[in-house]
Structure 1
Amino acid sequence: MTDGLHRYRALEQWLLKGISEGRWPVHGRLPSIRELCARRGLSKATVQHALRRLEARGLVEARPKAGYFVARLPESLSPPSLKARLDAPRPVTISSLLLDIMARNGAFDLRPALATGDAPSGITALNRAIGRALRRQRRSSYQYYDEPAGDPGFREQLALRYARRGWPVTVDELCVTSGCQHALFLALMACCSAGDVVAVETPGFYGVLQLLQQLNLKVIEIPASSGTGMDMDALEQALRRWDIRACVVSPAFATPGGALMPDRARDRLMALAETHNLAIIEDDIYAETGFDQVPDPLKARDVSARVIHCSSFSKVLSRDLRLGWIAGGRWHDRILHLKMVTQLASSRYLQQGVADYMSEGALNAHLRRERIRLREQRDQLLDEIHQWPGALRVTVPVGGLALWLELPEICDTLAAYQDALKANIVITPGPLFSASGDYANGLRLSFAHPWNEHRREALGQLPGLLGLS
């Protein structure tokens, strides 16, 4: 019998063999989870883990209420490679190019200058809820600040939502912030001092690198798989070699590739944190985009209050909302103080409006529609990339807003940025996702927006601009 820790791998290989032999043809339905459990003598969790790994590689596709199906994935589109080396900690210097991209609103849109379309019904309902909250404010309330932790009603709605995700957080453990970036900023300020070393995923979120530079912190970049996230072997090796104070990690659909950290890796991360007295800063901002599941937060496994949980609604509701939150664990009191220093207070009517929107069930309805839309837009993007020439590697995320494309080594996405601008296209080059300057042939492509005529035209021009044709 295969060792329990590797049963999911044995199932994964068995399914791959059946697909390659034609037992389950492309677009054909795989046996149900119940059938696989009975046939292979496995637990439901083991079967689900194997299927999710195959889905992360783009080999199978989950369809709501229908099961798993064999997906079409050309051989040329393999998963991106894992960075092999582990560099020593270093100071962070962020390229000014990032400011240019943000100024053009191009972080998630190839053609932001030509953006068109009406707001979805979920956003219209949100605006109405916020408007009602503003109209019912008491006459004198405008003269008072919100309490430091934020509106209790909004925090109560957040607590109810997290309880359904396996984390029974209390209202008093939450603090409202001005977005997730602000929450990450507070988290790093609370648990680190200038000169400390912070571990991050690579390729990883450039916003975290910005914060490390601002706070004069050193970074050590831990290789991350496009399917399962941060490499725990590499993290353990780094912890043994260097004094690392904190680790910033996105367990659910991390940018740029949309990796989903499996349960075993999450447990090992928590064990390493205990052994090495490590603060874990969890960026949970993409979790609610999961096409088929919303994974439990890492904070649900936190038994010693060493996880600082950060999130917001900017990726699933509105970028303009700027409403986030943080659960600081053992650093909670310090975070409340830092929140007052950096922001003073949050908008009370904005929080109350969003709380009403949540309590009425409007957020759940919006997210159901949003997940379907994102999956369709991901598939459309993959279909377009399939037409590109050259040996490409690409992630097939099951959540998040973007995929990571690894081009042939001769390609230089940083050099292609200016050429793309001349064609009114804004790309997000790979080197922005590392402090090391790596990933010159990497590119993040977002499927956050519908593929209208202008965006499809931009996609069609990219191979030439990137040197693929």
Structure 2
Amino acid sequence: MAQDLFLYETLCEQLAVRIRRGGFAPGERLPSVRALSKAFGVSINTTVQSLRKLELDGYIEVRERSGAYVRECLPANESTGVVSHFPLLPVEVSLSEDILRYMEPHTLEQTLHLGIALPDASLMPVDRLMRLWRDSSRRQPQVLWDYSHPNGLPRLTKQLSQRSIGYPSAIQEQDILVTNGCMEAMELALRAVSRPGDVVAVESPTYYGTLLALGVLNRRVLEVSTHHRDGICLYTLEQAFRRGQVKACIVSCNGQNPLGYVMSAERKQRLVELAVRYQVPLIENDIWGDTAYAGDALPAKAFDQQGMVIYCTSFSKTLMPGLRLGWVAGGRFHDRLRELKQISSITTAAAPQLVMARFLESGAYAQHLLRLRGQLQQQALDALALVRQSFPPGTWVQPPEGGCVLWVRLPERRDSRDLFQQALNDGIHIFPGSVFSVGPRHFDFLRVNVGSPLTPLVREKLLRLGELATALR
């Protein structure tokens, strides 16, 4: 009911009703933000939030430097399930079986892997890394044989710390804990700041691995609507913080999976300010941060002067997933993270740490990232054009700003779970959007990996995927 919604949602519903009743015709341009603000007696910020929600709900299309236009194909009258109306009741997570079922085809040969988000190995300096591995084994066998320092090899943590020198609030070497990939960092962070039964706020949609971890650890989830350009709704998040509904919040500010946005520095700073004001730990998953197409994108951690942000990342997406090398900067929670690390995996293997330290010292990683960003951006644009060409009219997809996935919405409430099976029968692996939320949301979305160059085979399969989506009813 309207009285249960916040002001911007009430305005959004009023505009949606007017559009559905023909007050604004398909293709018609809406009045300007200033005009709408004056007409409804609300602030500019409230109006902007309402338009963002209308866009997420599928009613309008916002065109840069032009305005907001009513979409030709409107969503059904019932809730589209794209945006979570707040306040929401925290819910249990039970997605493990679905997620595992959708992941399994990644191991099938003779299948085009558009499901798992991962840049192609051809984009990575694999040979150089293997040479470093062999050379390290020969020159420093004792280092590779022994336990490493509980925090990680000092040679590596020094390099990781130096990468943050330009941050407003740099990450100190002693604040770093090397982990077995980003997921271990996330798990340690969750265990450090929450207990079974606690509520954790997440983006909607969010990475399914985050939901899987929350389910395994018996945490409940509060989903917060997230915009494909601006990121998590800070207004809604603040209401949850203010009411004491959550013990922690998990966000991804750069190249978010699956939306692909890069949050502005101003919004990152505001996000950290909210965490500090309400004393809610912020767990930042920045695994795609180094792939931001426009260059180095600061994480929210860069603005963290009070130690409320637990920064988690790894080199799995930018270099080599087989290294299983990640790290966490825990701020005021560092000591607890280290305790949890010691009773789980004790320490992280020395070999990948030494290889990565040498790779960073040489400057090769920085050079590699420059090439990788350009390649991923071009691949995303090429695949985007093909999706727009081959998928059914009314399909919604926007260019990402980082990472290597497209978040595609099918028109007329087509169910991507049906498309998953049909595509798999044709040798194409995709990920349905339903597993990026704990509720029934996003069933008409799919995530497509564009980490591989657009070879003739990839082009052929994407065109076929569009045909299957068009025939889907």
TM-score, structure 1 length as denominator? 0.79
1:410 aligns with 413
- Corresponding residue number in structure 2 for 1:83: 83
Structure 2 counterpart of 1:190, from 173, 189, 192? 192
The corresponding residue for 1:94 is 95
Q: Give the number of aligned pairs.
A: 398
Match of 2:274?
272
Aligned to 2:52: none
Write out aligned runs for 1:185-224 (5 A).
185-224=187-226
Distance in structure 1 (CA, Å) of the matches to 2:62 and 2:133: 40
Within a 5 Å distance, the mapping from 1:36-115 to structure 2 comes to: 83-86=83-86, 87-105=88-106, 111-112=112-113
SS in 2 for 1:90: coil
Listed as ranges, the matches of 1:7-22 within 5 Å are none
Q: Aligned in 2, Cα 1:276/1:228: closer, same or farther, shift over 3 Å?
A: same
Counterpart residue number, 2:434: 431
Question: Residues 190 and 335 of structure 1 are in contact (CA less than 8 Å); yes or no, is this contact kept in structure 2?
Answer: yes
* Corresponding residue to 1:397 among 396, 400, 409: 400
Residue 294 of structure 2 corresponds to 292
- Ranges in structure 1 where 5+ consecutive residues have no aligned partner: 1-56, 61-68
Cα distance, 1:253–1:77 mapped onto 2, change above 3 Å:
farther
Question: Offset at 1:104?
Answer: 2.9
RMSD: 2.9
Q: How far off its partner does 1:103 sit?
A: 2.9
| Residue 143 of structure 1: how far off its partner (Å) | 5.2
Q: For residue 13 of structure 1, what is the aligned residue in structure 2?
A: none
Q: What is aligned with 1:20?
A: none
Compared with structure 1, are the counterparts of its residues 303 and 106 closer, same or farther at alpha carbon in structure 2 (3 Å cutoff)? farther
Instruction: Read off the aligned partner of 1:302 and give its amino acid letter.
Output: D
Secondary structure at the aligned position of 1:404 is classed as strand
Amino acid at match of 1:303: Q
Contact in 2 for aligned 1:77/1:386 (Cα 8 Å)? no
Q: Residue type of the partner of 2:131?
A: R
Whole-Å separation in 2 of the counterparts to 1:427 and 1:76: 27
Q: Of 288, 302, 311, which aligns to 2:313?
A: 311
Instruction: Report the Cα distance in structure 2 between the residues aligned to 1:294 and 1:211, rounded to whole angstroms.
Output: 28
Q: d(CA) in 2 for partners of 1:145 and 1:443?
A: 43
One-letter amino acid of the counterpart of residue 342, structure 1 = S
C-alpha separation between the residues in 2 aligned to 1:128 and 1:77? 55
| Alpha-carbon separation, structure 2, partners of 1:329 and 1:285 | 18
Judge conservation of contact 2:392–2:469 (CA < 8 Å) in 1: no
Q: Matched residues in 1 for 2:63 and 2:458: separation?
A: 26
After superposition, give the CA deviation of every residue in 1:429-456 in whole Å (9 maximum; x if it has no partner): 0101001121110111121111222222
Counterpart of 2:443, as a letter, is A
Amino acid at match of 1:93: S
Deviations along 1:348-369, one digit per CA (max 9) or x if unpaired, are 1211111111111111111111
Seen in structure 2, the aligned counterparts of structure 1 residues 418 and 332 have a Cα distance that, compared at 3 Å, is same
**Contact 1:130–1:354 (Cα < 8 Å) also in 2:** no
3-state DSSP of counterpart to 2:89? coil
Q: Is the 8 Å Cα contact of residues 286 and 312 (structure 2) preserved in structure 1? A: yes
Whether the 8 Å CA contact 1:76–1:393 is kept in 2: the answer is: no
Q: Distance in 2 between matches of 1:166 and 1:270?
A: 13
Q: Distance in 1 between matches of 2:62 and 2:403?
A: 15
Amino acid at match of 2:207: F
SS of equivalent residue, structure 2 residue 396: strand
Distance 1:409 1:84 in 2: 20
Report how far residue 230 of structure 1 moved.
0.2
TM-aligned CA deviation for residue 203 of structure 1: 0.5
1:377-419 superposed Cα distances (whole Å, 9 cap, x missing partner): 0111111012122202112112111121111133100122221
Q: CA, structure 1 residues 110+204, in 2 after alignment: closer, same or farther (shift >3 Å)?
A: farther
Give the unaligned 5+ runs of structure 2. 1-60, 75-79
One-letter amino acid of the counterpart of residue 128, structure 1: R
CA distance in 1, matches of 2:147, 2:278: 40
Q: Distance in 2 between matches of 1:195 and 1:371?
A: 40
- In 2, Cα distance between equivalents of 1:355 and 1:280: 28
Q: Which whole-Å CA distance do the structure 1 matches of 2:73 and 2:357 have between them? A: 43
DSSP 3-state at the match of 1:223: strand
Q: Which residue of 1 aligns with 2:48?
A: none
TM-score, normalised by the number of residues in structure 2: 0.78
Secondary structure, in 3 states, of the residue corresponding to 1:222?
Answer: strand
Aligned to 2:146: 144
Distance in 2 (CA, whole Å) between partners of 1:118 and 1:302 is: 34
C-alpha contact 1:165 1:294 (8 A) present in aligned 2: no
* Counterpart position of 1:237: 239
Q: 1:365-384 maps to which residues of 2 (within 5 A)?
A: 365-384=367-386
| Alpha-carbon distance in 1 for matches of 2:175, 2:362 | 24
CA contact (8 A) 1:412 1:466 kept: no
Q: One-letter code of the match for 2:102? A: I
Aligned partner of residue 242 in structure 2, secondary structure: helix
Cα shift at 1:105: 2.5
Report SS of the residue matched to 2:317.
coil
Give the superposition deviation at 1:321: 1.6
> Using a 3 Å threshold, how does the CA distance of structure 1 residues 58 and 240 change in structure 2: closer, same or farther?
closer
Measured after TM superposition, the shift of residue 260 of structure 1 is 1.6
Q: Deviations over 1:292-318 (max 9, x none)?
A: 122112112112111100000111111
SS at match of 2:446: strand
The CA distance in 1 between the partners of 2:262 and 2:144, in whole Å, is 43
Moved over 6 A (4+): 57-60, 75-78, 115-118
